[in-house]
């Protein structure tokens, strides 16, 4: 079975453990050269729900997710759960980027498979740590903001690259350091170390989004900054608010002109 067909199968998988294990196995097989890409095929999802999710967590508006006080074990668990939920959604968005958009260079698909595998690893780390705290993935509610933007950009790979990795996911570059500090201050050194892994890998994920965004702009003869501004309006993307992790964003491929704009945001 070709890579994109398998990515679609994993995307609609509802069991979190089966999905993450399947992504890891697919990445291993692809690295071994055992999986054809079939980048030009137009695939159909049929009647399957996209994305496949377990029955829990319950999805609620962001304001109803609940407070995450670091002063209590439950509050700390809620934060770890929220991070696990983000990573689970990130697995799905990477799989969606693989199957949904035909005709991209082969490197695009292997890049996003790498993202899917690393996000699956992040989810596994966080879910395992959550169990050490006495809870499991699904025990707290979650929200669906990340996937809402994935769904809105399903018709255009340029919009997807602009508004998911380099907008929604890039916010994680800014958010992870203060969250890490809170967890470390609360004495959860294991969670803090997991966030070190997340930040390291997320820089690479955002860089992949940036690289393919600039590739698509060049291919279509578009000016990247003006195009990004137009897409944020067209798709009603969230307004970026600081403080920004400028160095991580620089490592992730944002231009100096873009970083200067953030400084004045």
Domain boundaries, the chain: 3-263
Q: Are the beta carbons of 106 and 50 closer than 8 angstroms?
A: no
Record the pTM.
0.96
Structure-token pair, residue 260: 């200067």
Please give the mean pLDDT across all residues of the chain: 95
Alpha helices in the chain (DSSP H): 3-12, 16-31, 73-100, 106-132, 145-152, 157-163, 170-185, 189-220, 224-234, 246-251, 256-263
pLDDT the model gives residue 64: 74
Average pLDDT over every residue of 135-142: 96
Residue with tokens 């929200």: 143
Q: Are the beta carbons of 164 and 232 closer than 8 angstroms?
A: no
pLDDT the model gives residue 5: 96
Q: Are the beta carbons of 91 and 112 closer than 8 angstroms?
A: no
pLDDT the model gives residue 48: 84
- The closest alpha carbon to 130, from 83, 176, 92, 169, belongs to 83
Sign of the Cα pseudo-torsion (61, 208, 104, 109, in order): negative
Fold held by 3-263: Ferritin (1.20.1260)
Whether omega for the bond prior to residue 243 falls within 30 degrees of 0, making it cis, is yes
d(CA 153, CA 137): 27
Taking 80 as the threshold, does the pLDDT of residue 46 lie above it?
A: yes
Q: What residues pair up with 59 in beta bridges, in sequence order?
A: 142
Judged by average pLDDT, the poorest of 6-15, 47-56, 63-72 is: 63-72
């Amino acid at each position: 079975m070709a890579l994109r067909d398998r990515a679609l199968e994993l995307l609609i998988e509802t069991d979190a453990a089966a999905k993450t294990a399947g992504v890891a196995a697919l990445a291993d097989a692809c690295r071994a050269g055992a999986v054809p890409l079939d980048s030009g095929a137009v695939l159909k999802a049929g009647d399957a729900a996209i994305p496949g999710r377990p029955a829990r967590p319950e999805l609620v508006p962001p304001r109803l997710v609940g407070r995450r006080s670091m002063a209590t074990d439950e509050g700390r668990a809620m934060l770890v759960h929220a991070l696990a939920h983000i990573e689970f959604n990130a697995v799905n968005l990477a799989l969606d980027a693989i199957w949904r958009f035909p005709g991209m260079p082969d490197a695009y698909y292997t890049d996003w498979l790498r993202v899917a595998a690393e996000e699956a690893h992040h989810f596994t780390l966080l879910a395992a740590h959550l169990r050490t705290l006495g809870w499991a993935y699904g025990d707290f509610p979650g929200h669906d903001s990340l996937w809402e933007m994935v769904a809105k950009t399903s018709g255009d790979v340029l919009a997807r690259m602009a508004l998911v990795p380099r907008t929604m996911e890039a916010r994680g570059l800014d958010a992870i350091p203060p969250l890490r500090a809170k967890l470390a201050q609360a004495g959860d050194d294991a969670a803090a170390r997991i966030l070190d892994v997340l930040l390291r890998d997320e820089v690479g994920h955002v860089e992949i989004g940036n690289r393919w965004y600039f590739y698509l702009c060049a291919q279509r003869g578009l000016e990247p900054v003006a195009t990004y501004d137009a897409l944020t309006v067209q798709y009603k993307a969230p307004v970026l608010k600081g403080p920004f992790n400028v160095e991580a964003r620089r490592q992730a491929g944002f231009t100096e002109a873009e970083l200067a704009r953030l400084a004045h945001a």
